[in-house]
Amino acid sequence: MKKLRFSREFKIGFFGVAMLALLYWGVNFLKSKDLFTSTRDYYAVYDQVNGLQPSASIVIKGFKVGTVSTMSYDPEQSQNVVVAFAIRAKYPIPKDSKALIFSDGIMGGKAIEIVPGSSPELLQPGDTLYSEINKGFLETAGSEFEFIKQRANDVISRLTVTLDNLNAILADNRAGLNTTVNNMASITGNINDLMVSEKGSLRNIIANLNSLSQTLKSKEGQIGHILTNVDKFTDSLSKSQFPTAIAEMTVTLNRLNTTLDKVNNGEGTVGKFVNDQALYDSLVDASANLSALLYDIKAHPKRYINISVFGGGRNRD
């Protein structure tokens, strides 16, 4: 059998084609593309992609079903980013599904999760999905940290201004503060001298207090007996007729107040007498006339009393 011989040029060409094929397969492998599985291309539009990269994973319920193919951004046509991704053909996508960008892992890598909808109608290759961005924990924490940082800066700035004002006040009133401190030191020294000079008196006071405490402790039974008697007296007082007498006095005072109110208002004889000025004036005039009449009777009794035994009495003064 004749052995096949290949020319050197054929070998070099075959080796070049094989290397190109291997390179193409390797590049697609690195891009997570499966050359032996049919896929369908879909699109999603985002206002920002938050670090999403080509060849990022496309997952459904955490299971990888495809990869991001390309991303394009043309500010002359739109301010949004168009993301194209390929999904294996055996995974149908409902028309109302969402393409959600999320953080894939703690390192901040991005991926797209297909959230299946409930529509019976399926997407066709080349259709556009609804888009949504889900902030991860680190992004949320980062935004919160920026807010806290800003607030902390504001607080520090205000605290700095306050401390500057306080330093200015202390500088302006340094002499007064020194005088105040010296006065306080003098007062403290005087108190110490007083304590030293009156140490004996303080000891006597403390001794007297101790003695009083001991006396009270020794008379604890008598004090308890006195308190018991006081308690019995108050109990007896509450059970006696004293509250009834107080109640009756209260009723009497209320009646007296009512009577006085009637007198002040001119009700009844006494009230009319007290409040009728004309009656009062009439009584005063009558009293004056009666006094004048009595005086005239006393001065000229014969004008009013004529007693004659023998028919006399014609002559009258």
Unique residue bearing structure tokens 């018991």? 228
Measure the CA–CA gap between 252 and 309, rounded to whole angstroms.
Answer: 63
- Over the chain (317 residues), the average pLDDT of each successive run of 10 is 63 77 67 66 88 87 89 87 90 90 73 90 90 62 65 85 84 80 85 80 86 84 83 72 74 82 72 69 80 80 62 50
Structure tokens at 137: 């924990």
**Residue 137: what pLDDT?**
44
Residue 38 sits at φ, ψ, to 5 deg, of -75, 140
Unique residue bearing structure tokens 């996508």? 93
CA angle 7, 10, 11 (to 5 degrees): 90
**Residue 274: what pLDDT?**
65
Nearest residue to 33 via CA among 81, 65, 72:
65
Structure tokens at 13: 């060409």
**Residue 32: what pLDDT?**
54
Residue 229 sits at φ, ψ, to 5 deg, of -65, -40
**Residue 42: what pLDDT?**
92
In the chain, domain spans: 28-131, 244-305
